[in-house]
Amino acid sequence: MESRTHDLVVIGAGPGGYVAAIRGAQLGMNVACVDENPQLGGTCLRVGCIPTKALLESSERYAEATAGLAEHGVRIAGVSLDLAAMLKRKDAVVAGLTAGVAALFKKHKIARYEGRGRLAGTGLVRVQGKDTLELNAKHVLLAPGSSCAPLPGVAPDGDRIGTSTEALSWAAVPPRLVVIGAGYIGLELGSVWRRLGAQVTVVEFLDRILPGTDLEIAREAQKLLRRQGIEFRLGCRVTGAGVEGGECVVTIDGQEPARGDRVLVAVGRRPSTADLGLEPAGVVPDERGRIPVDDGFRTSAPGVYAIGDAIRGPMLAHKASEEGVACVERILGRPGLVDHDLVPGVCYTEPEIAGVGRTEEALVQAGVPFRKGVFHVRGAPRARCMGRIDGRVKVLAHEKTDRVLGVHVIGPHAGELIAEAAAAMAFGASSEDLARVCHAHPTLAEAIKEAALDVDKRAIHA
């Protein structure tokens, strides 16, 4: 069996793995990256974040062309949907970005191995692909990512009942779509197909949408999405799904079934930690399949580290990337650090939903004294000019110290706005600090300043 030696072997080429590989190469390590897929980038680039955002962008343009531009004095007759072209553009975006990662690997002289990588002993990784080979390494970093979580009683068939992977490539708009799960994935893809003409029903086990999001913001989101034509059935336990008489039927405990032409199962994700050779190496995943690590991302196996969706915390691409950089830097004795309390989350619906830090409910539950400032987007002149006035910004600050504890946004470009809040919080900013920063006028970011001012009930335009 052929054997090769590297300083660092990374298993997984997603946003955590490929970023870790590049950072290791930047710091002078001889790095190899192992992944089963010929396209680098993992789920995020291939069948997750990127293609979803491409379709969200295209479908929003279509929605504007069919209705939204008229108020701006732009009237377009005979607008039609070319779904094949839309999907082709999505694929081109993905291809361009994955090729970009491959070019970065070449630039940094990172060795690529296509195949399944698994631990095979101390400092040893076995790669099973077209051929089997062994990689010797002082350090092994596990970044296997995650896969769509199953739902008992529901078996995706890759056609009528599918996961997010299939929903990114449907060749025709389903007249009726049932989405199981009201998290980021379900709402984003539900929004895509609603804009393109589908009648969308979202079925959720909880009595609310977007679990983990600030409740006030989530309720606003539900109201606005319902206005767009998305129907919600909350507090529903799905017991099965199948095709009966030519239509999809989703059975719900104690309630009428939901019926549609396609079903999207979007009930979260689970770590892809099976078949990594963990147990023989002395690494025992928890009940959710996550790999236990310490603050330096070390597992219980010597020289083996883990990051991203495979460990605790939110399954977000940017969280994995930050962990990849920090892990490699820690391996080399540098002060790599990730503040897991300040990982922003964004849902790319229209309007976008974003948050960083603690929610109001979490502060109440923990008994933390706080003050709240809220500013409605309609008060921002830039939002008025754009014709996108729905939403609000919410700033939560400690009652005594005024330190910002959380910022939550629903509104146009919320995903861009939240970066200001994350940066401010990383440096321990107070609401007064945010309020005193001069913001350009007219910008959407002025809403953050106004919400910070409202913590002391002195917002100017409220």
What burial letters (b/e) apply to 190-217, b meaning 16+ CB within 10 Å? bbbbbbbebbbbbbbbeeebbeebbebb
Over residues 300-306, the mean pLDDT reads: 98
Asked whether residue 121 carries a pLDDT value surpassing 90, the answer given is yes
Q: Give me the torsion for CA of 142, 40, 352, 375, rounded to 10°.
A: 60
Count the domains in the chain.
3
Is the C-alpha dihedral spanning 281, 287, 288, 292 positive or negative?
Answer: negative
Over residues 95-99, the mean pLDDT reads: 98
299 and 233 both lie in a single domain: no
Over residues 115-141, the mean pLDDT reads: 96
Q: Give me the torsion for CA of 8, 11, 16, 21, rounded to 10°.
A: 30
The three-class DSSP label of residue 155 is: coil
Supply the residues annotated as catalytic.
Answer: 441
Give pLDDT, residue 272.
98
The overall average pLDDT reported for the chain is 98
Asked whether residue 68 carries a pLDDT value surpassing 90, the answer given is no
Q: pLDDT, tens digit, for every residue of 344-356? A: 999 999 999 999 9
- CATH code, 278: 3.50.50.60
Residue 1 or residue 60, greater confidence: 60
- Residue 200 bridge partners (DSSP): 177
Could you tell me the residue range of the domain that residue 119 belongs to? 2-148+270-341
257: in domain: yes
Asked whether residue 163 carries a pLDDT value surpassing 90, the answer given is yes
Over residues 63-70, the mean pLDDT reads: 93
21 and 139 both lie in a single domain: yes
Over residues 229-234, the mean pLDDT reads: 99
CB 260 within 8 A of CB 220: no
134 and 282 both lie in a single domain: yes
Task: For residue 249, give both structure tokens.
Answer: 């039927």
**What is the β-pairing status of strands 370-376 and 392-398?**
antiparallel
156: in domain: no
Tell me the C-alpha to C-alpha distance, in Å, between residue 104 and each of 21, 22, 23, 27, 101. Answer: 10, 8, 11, 15, 5
Which of these, 352, 326, 321, 351, lies nearest to 338 by C-alpha position?
326
The three-class DSSP label of residue 104 is: helix
Q: pLDDT, tens digit, for every residue of 206-217? A: 999 999 999 999
122 and 12 both lie in a single domain: yes
CB 98 within 8 A of CB 47: no
Asked whether residue 343 carries a pLDDT value surpassing 90, the answer given is yes
CB 374 within 8 A of CB 237: no
Amino acid at 74: V
Over residues 402-417, the mean pLDDT reads: 99
442 and 380 both lie in a single domain: yes
CB 234 within 8 A of CB 218: no
Give pLDDT, residue 103.
99
Q: Tokens 């039609």 — which residue?
A: 80
52 and 13 both lie in a single domain: yes
461: in domain: no
Asked whether residue 180 carries a pLDDT value surpassing 90, the answer given is yes
SS3 letters across 248-277: EEEEECCEEEEEECEEEECCCEEECCCCCC
Give pLDDT, residue 275.
94
333 and 356 both lie in a single domain: no
Give kind and range of the element (H or E) at residue 200: strand 199-203
Burial class (CB in 10 A: 0-12, 13-18, 19+), 81: middle
Q: pLDDT, tens digit, for every residue of 374-385? A: 999 999 999 999
For the chain, give the number of residues: 462
Q: pLDDT, tens digit, for every residue of 385-409? A: 999 999 999 999 999 999 999 999 9
Asked whether residue 1 carries a pLDDT value surpassing 90, the answer given is no
Q: pLDDT, tens digit, for every residue of 38-47? A: 999 999 999 9
Phi, psi of 290 (to 5 degrees): -85, 150
